[in-house]
Amino acid sequence: MSDEAVRLDDVKFRWRSDAPPVLDIPSLSARAGERLFISGPSGSGKTTLLNLLAGISQPETGTVEIMGTDLSQLSGGGRDAFRADTIGFIFQMFNLLPFLSLAENVLLPCRFSSARRARAAAASGGAEAEARRLLTHMGLA
């Protein structure tokens, strides 16, 4: 098994068949724990790339693999379940639910995925403890 957490090969995405590709990525990979910085002007494809990585959008051509799973091989429901179990994004402009505390916002994905809940519980002896650890690590606790 590869140590790559993210792998894109020959990925092209366009919104309309008569338009040039919004994204044309010959190759991109990242290992677990590696950080990537995505920068570009409005309309350059940053959100489109994140949508491809999350399986929300599908490329016109090429493959998107996350943790060894080729997202094109999953059904729409399979991609939804994979996303709930595996993927999380922190956006520049946070979209927190205002009626939840910060910790409750961090724990929210655990309500949608039993696999995520089990991993969080195993990591620090409980999901709440793991949320506190993450918030402290990011200087938000």
C-alpha closest to that of 12 among 62, 52, 78: 62
CATH topology assigned to domain 4-86? Rossmann fold (3.40.50)
What predicted TM-score, i.e. pTM, was given to this entire model? 0.78
Percent of the chain surpassing pLDDT 70: 95
How open is the CA angle 127-114-122, to the nearest 5 degrees? 40
Q: Where are the alpha helices (DSSP H) in 42-101?
A: 46-54, 76-86
Domain ranges of the chain: 4-86, 102-137
The per-residue pLDDT for range 99-125, each reduced to its tens digit, is 999 999 989 989 989 998 898 888 888
Is residue 85 very low, low, confident or very high in pLDDT (cuts 50, 70, 90)? very high
Give the residue-averaged pLDDT of 51-61.
95
Cβ 55 vs Cβ 83: under 8 Å: yes
**What is the edge-to-edge ordering of all strands in the sheet holding 4-13?**
23-31, 4-13, 61-66, 69-70
Give the per-residue pLDDT at 2. 65
Site of tokens 């060894």 = 68
Q: Would you tell me how many other CB atoms lie within 10 Å of the CB of residue 67?
A: 15
Backbone angles phi, psi at 56, to 5 degrees: -75, -40
